[in-house]
Amino acid sequence: MARAGMNAPSRSRLPGSRLHLHHGPIDLVIEAWGEHLEVEQAYEQAWTRFQDILPTLVSELAVLRAALREPYPLARGPVARRMVAACWPHRSFFITPMAAVAGAVADEMLAALLAGRTLAKAYVNDGGDIALHIANGEHLDAGVVNDPQRPQLAASVRIASQSAARGIATSGWRGRSQSLGIADAVTVLARTASAADAAATLIANAVDIEHPSIQRLPASAVKHDSDLGDLPVTVAVGALPLHAIAAALERGRAAACAMLGTGLIEAAYLALQGEIRVAAHTQHEWRLSA
Amino acid sequence: MRDPEDAPESAEPITGDVIRCDACPVLCRIRTGQAGACDRYANEDGKLVRVDPLLILQRGSAAVPFLGTGKAWSGNLISGTDTFITGIGATTTYPDYKPAPYIVSSKLGGVDVVTVVTEGIFSYCGLKVKIDTDRFLGPELAAVRVDGEPIGHVTTAEYGSQMLSLGGVRHLTGGSKKEGNVTCDAMLRLANKQPVEVKVDDGASIVVQAGAAPVVNGEREERMRVGCGSATIGIFAKQWHGHADEVIVVDDHITGVLTEHQAGRFLEMPPAGVRVRGRRSTPGRYFKVAEPGLGWGGTDITDPLAIIEKIDPRKAWPGMRLLMVSTTGEDAEWFVLDEKLAPIRQPMPGAIRMVVERIVENCEPALCTVLFMGGAGGSLRAGVTENPVRLTRSVKERITRVTCGGAPVYVWPGGGITLMVDVLRMPDRSFGYVPTPALVLPIEFTMTPDAYAGMGGHVDRVVPIERALHEARIKAEAWSEENAWPAQA
C-alpha cells in the first residue's frame, strides 16, 4: 500500500510518560496508569496495532464517505465497522460513517492497549475524541475547550467508574472537521468514543439558525475531498444577538435530549458565543470555569 | 518562503488546480489554497507544502529539506552547533501552566546554551509604524481606520517621518468584537510584511507595507526630504552662491529663504526682498507658509509663487534670479524678475539643475517600517521558569538573550519584558493569531545552563537539540546574517 517516500507511522514519548502516535491525519496521545511493565507492554501493543490502522481504513474510504442509508453497509475493517455501527442509529439524518472516524480509531486503539493488560486508567485521545478506560473505584477528569485556536479550559467533567461513559468527543465549526452548524463546541459523553463522535457531529449540526453574520460555503469548495459534497458548511460566524444564540442552542439541546432519551449519549455540553447549555443525567456534573 | 523540498516524493496533479498528496495512505486530493485531511500538508500554487512547521535557522549552509516524521535524520547537515530553533511553529502551551514546547540545549558559537522556544500569545501588543513622508497624513491623535473600524491613531511626527500607533489591547479587546477582529487582522498582515490600506480621520488614505514605499492617496511616495527647508539652505547655500540671487526652499515644517538665512548672510548675499507668507521664526526660517497637503514639500502648494506675499521694490531688482525648490527636490522652478519685478518662469540653468538633482540624490528612499511591540511579562514566563520574575531580571541583566524568530529585540527598561522587534528582520509569516483576538509571536530565550538552573528553569525538560529536531516537524532556513547569533556576547 505505502509507496516509497510515503511517511510511515511514527511514535514518540511525550513528557509525563505519554505516548504519541502519528500517521497521516491521525495523531494519538495515549496515557496509561498501572504497573510500569504493564504500561510499557500496553504501549507496545498499541504501537503494533497502529501499523495498519490507516492503510486498512483508507482501503474502504469510498463506502465510509457515502451517506448512510438502508441496507446496512458491510464494512470489513475493525475501525470501519465501529464507524458504521456508531452512525447507524442516526441514519434518519444526513450522516456518513466518517462522522465517527476519530472516535472509532480511539476505540480500536484502546481495545488494543487493554488486551490482556491490567491498568487502573487509560485514555486514547485522537484529536479531542477520546476513548477511556476506568477501572473500578477510579475516575478521570476531562476538560472542555470551546475554541481549539485558544486552548483554554471552559469546563471540566469528572467521569467516575460507575458512569457508563467511556467516550468523549467534541465537535464545532472551528474544529478540524466541517460542521453544518454554528456551535463553538459540542462535547458529548457516550459509552464509546465512536458513539460520542457521531452524536457530537449531529448535535453540532443542529446548533444552527439563519443569520446574516453566518458565512457558509459548499463543503467541497472548502475541502475538495469532503464527504459532505455540496452541503453548506460554516466558515465564519460573526457576533450574534442573544436571542439568536439562545434559539440555535435550543435546537441543539433538543437534539441532544432526544439522544439522551434513547441512550445514545450520556451527556452533552453545548457552547456558542459565551452561552452554554447542558443536557445530562444528574451524575455528570459539568463544572464551568468560564 | 516555502521550500519545494518540503514536499514528499511527489505531488501528482490530477485535474486543474487539484493535486494528490502522497504523504500518507489517505492520498487526499487537495485544491489550491486548501489543506489535506491532516492540516499538515497544503496545496500552494500547485505545489504540495508542509504547513506551519517548526522553523530552524542555520548558519553557513544552505537550507536543508524538512525532516519527515519516521525518516531518519541524515545528521550530516545539522550538527546542532550552527542550528537555532525558532519559536515559529513551536506552538504554545497557553496559558503556560506547562513548560514551553521546546527547551533545548545546544552549542551556539561554541558556548553551551539553553534555548527556551515558544509562541507567545500577545493580547497586549501593538505596532509602531514609521512612514517616511512629509505629506500630511492626518492630525495628531486622529483615528486610523480599516474597514471603518478604529485600529490606532496618528502619533508624533518625527524628522522626515510620520508615526502611527496601531493595535494595543484597547482596540483588540476593549472595543466591539468587529473592532477587535479588524485590528487583529490588520496587525497580522502588517507584521507579516503584507500591505494594508488605512484611512486617517480628516486625513489621507495610506497603503502601508513594511519595507515598501508608502502610497498616500494613491500616489507612491518615493523619497524622504533631505531635511527641513532651513537645513536644505544650510547644506546647499555655497553651491547656489553665484548662480542664484535668491533660493526659497518650500517645506511644510520650515520654509527657508537663502538671503535672510544665516547661511546667506555668511556668504554676504544682498537681501533680495522676497517676503514669503507664514510666521517668521528666526531670520530666513518661516513656519506655516501654507496648509499641509500633497503639494510642494508637504504643503498644499502647487504653484510656488502662491507663498510669496510681496516683493520689496527697494531691495529686489530686474533680472534677479530666483530658485524655488521643495525639500525633496521633486518640485523646482526657476524665475527671473522682469522690469516690473514680476517673476517670470525661465528654463533652469545647468549649474542650478545640478544642485536640485543633488537634493534628490540626498533624499533617502521613503519606506514604511513596522516595529512590533508587546509585553512578554505575563504567564508566558511560566513556560520558562517556576519563578517568573527571575527570568525578567535575567533578561534585564542581559544574561538571557531574547529573540523573536531569531531577530534581535529591544527590551524596554522598567518593569516586565516589554520588547520591540523590527518585523523585517524576522522570517516571513512569523506571526499568527488566535481569535481572542490576539497575535501569536515566536519568542526564544537563550542563556547558559547555569543561568537557566539558577532562575528555577524547567531543567528536567531540557533535551539536546538533536532530539528536539528528531521529534518536531522541521523546516530549515538560512540564518539572516544581518542578525547577531544569539549566543554571542
Each residue's pLDDT tens digit, B169-224: 999 988 888 899 999 999 999 999 999 999 999 999 999 999 999 999 988 887 78
- Please report, for residues B1, B45, B86, B119, B292, the alpha-carbon distance to residue B478 in angstroms, rounded to integers and kept in the order given: 11, 23, 12, 20, 45
Q: What is the DSSP annotation of B66-88?
A: ---TTSPP--SS--STTEEE-ST
Q: What is the dihedral of CA A239, A242, A244, A249, to 10 degrees?
A: 100
3-state SS track over chain A? CCCCCCCCCEEEEECCCEEEEEECCEEEEEEEECCHHHHHHHHHHHHHHHCCHHHHHHCCHHHHCCCCCCCCCCCCCHHHHHHHHHHHHHCCCCCCHHHHHHHHHHHHHHHHHHCCCCCCEEEEEECCEEEEEECCCCEEEEEEECCCCCCCEEEEEEEECCCCCCEEEEECCCCCCCCCCCCCEEEEEECCHHHHHHHHHHHHHHCCCCCCCEEEEEHHHHCCCCCCCCCEEEEEECCCCHHHHHHHHHHHHHHHHHHHHCCCCCEEEEEECCEEEEEECCCCCEEECC
| pLDDT reported for residue B82 | 64
| pLDDT reported for residue A172 | 85
- Judge contact between B56 and A54, C-beta under 8 A: no
Q: How many CA atoms lie within 13 A of B306 on its CB side?
A: 12
The C-alpha atoms of residue A76 and residue A74 are separated, in whole angstroms, by 7
Q: Within an 8 Å CB–CB cutoff, is residue B434 touching chain A?
A: yes
- The contacts of residue A232 (CB under 8 Å, 6+ apart) are A180, A216, A217, A218, A219
Give the angle A5-A11-A16 at the CA atoms, nearest 5°. 155
Query: CB–CB of B36 and A25 under 8 A?
Result: yes
Query: CB–CB of A7 and B24 under 8 A?
Result: yes
* pLDDT band with cut points at 50, 70 and 90 for residue A68: very high
* Mean pLDDT value across residues A74-95: 93
- The contacts of residue B460 (CB under 8 Å, 6+ apart) are none
Arithmetic mean of pLDDT over chain B:
83
Structural domain tally of chain A? 1
Instruction: Give contacts of A54 with chain B, Cβ < 8 Å.
Output: 24-26
Q: What is the DSSP annotation of B190-252?
A: HHTT--EEEEETTS-EEEE-BTS--EETTEE--B--SS-HHHHHHHHHHHHBTTBSEEEEE-S
Instruction: Give contacts of B9 with chain A, Cβ < 8 Å.
Output: 3-6
Q: Which three cell numbers stand for residue A168?
A: 468523549
A 236-265: CB under 8 A from B: 238-239
B170: helix, coil or strand? helix
- The contacts of residue B235 (CB under 8 Å, 6+ apart) are B226, B227, B362
Nearest chain B alpha carbon to A20: B471
Query: CB–CB of B25 and A55 under 8 A?
Result: yes
Count CB neighbours of A115 within 10 A. Answer: 11
The C-alpha atoms of residue A238 and residue A186 are separated, in whole angstroms, by 18
Query: CB–CB of B25 and A150 under 8 A?
Result: no
B263: helix, coil or strand? helix
B58: helix, coil or strand? strand
Query: What percent of chain B shows pLDDT beyond 70?
Result: 81
- Please report, for residues B247, B252, B261, B271, B311, the alpha-carbon distance to residue B281 in angstroms, rounded to integers and kept in the order given: 18, 14, 11, 17, 19
* pLDDT band with cut points at 50, 70 and 90 for residue A200: very high
B181: helix, coil or strand? helix
* Mean pLDDT value across residues A45-55: 95
Query: CB–CB of A224 and B34 under 8 A?
Result: yes
| pLDDT reported for residue B52 | 57
Residue A35 covered by a domain: yes
The C-alpha atoms of residue B296 and residue B331 are separated, in whole angstroms, by 6
The C-alpha atoms of residue B374 and residue B120 are separated, in whole angstroms, by 10
Query: Does the pLDDT at position A38 exceed 80?
Result: yes
Type of residue numbered A30: I
| pLDDT reported for residue B206 | 96
| Residue range B88-126, pLDDT digits in tens | 666 554 444 456 666 777 766 666 778 787 777 788 899
Query: Does the pLDDT at position B259 exceed 50?
Result: yes
User: CB-CB: which of B9, B31, B95 is closest to A224?
Assistant: B31
**Between β-strands B102-108 and B463-464, what pairing exists: parallel, antiparallel or unpaired?**
parallel
Instruction: Give contacts of A25 with chain B, Cβ < 8 Å.
Output: 24, 26, 36-40
What distance in Å separates residue B36's CA from the closest CA in chain A?
A: 8
The C-alpha atoms of residue B448 and residue A282 are separated, in whole angstroms, by 54
Q: Within an 8 Å CB–CB cutoff, is residue B71 touching chain A?
A: yes
| pLDDT reported for residue A236 | 86
The C-alpha atoms of residue A16 and residue B406 are separated, in whole angstroms, by 29
Write down how long chain A is.
290
Residue A3 covered by a domain: no
Lowest mean pLDDT among A20-29, B53-62, B275-284, B362-371: B53-62
Q: Which domain holds residue A95?
A: 16-282
* pLDDT band with cut points at 50, 70 and 90 for residue B74: very low
- Judge contact between B32 and B45, C-beta under 8 A: yes
- Judge contact between A39 and A32, C-beta under 8 A: yes
Query: Does the pLDDT at position B65 exceed 50?
Result: no
Type of residue numbered B164: L
B25: helix, coil or strand? coil
| Residue range A107-130, pLDDT digits in tens | 999 999 999 999 999 999 988 889
Instruction: Pick the closest to residue B210 from B96, B372, B354, B336 (CA basis).
Output: B372
User: CB-CB: which of B9, B39, B436 is closest to A176?
Assistant: B39
Q: Within an 8 Å CB–CB cutoff, is residue A22 touching chain B?
A: yes
ipTM of this complex: 0.71
Instruction: Pick the closest to residue B202 from B274, B142, B268 (CA basis).
Output: B142
Instruction: Give contacts of A176 with chain B, Cβ < 8 Å.
Output: 39
Instruction: Give contacts of A174 with chain B, Cβ < 8 Å.
Output: 435
Q: Which three cell numbers stand for residue B96?
A: 503556560
Give B120's DSSP letter: E
What distance in Å separates residue B446's CA from the closest CA in chain A?
A: 22
| Residue range A131-181, pLDDT digits in tens | 999 999 998 888 776 665 555 666 778 888 988 999 999 888 876 678 889
The C-alpha atoms of residue B112 and residue B101 are separated, in whole angstroms, by 20
Residue A20's beta-bridge partner residues? A12, A29
Give B303's DSSP letter: S
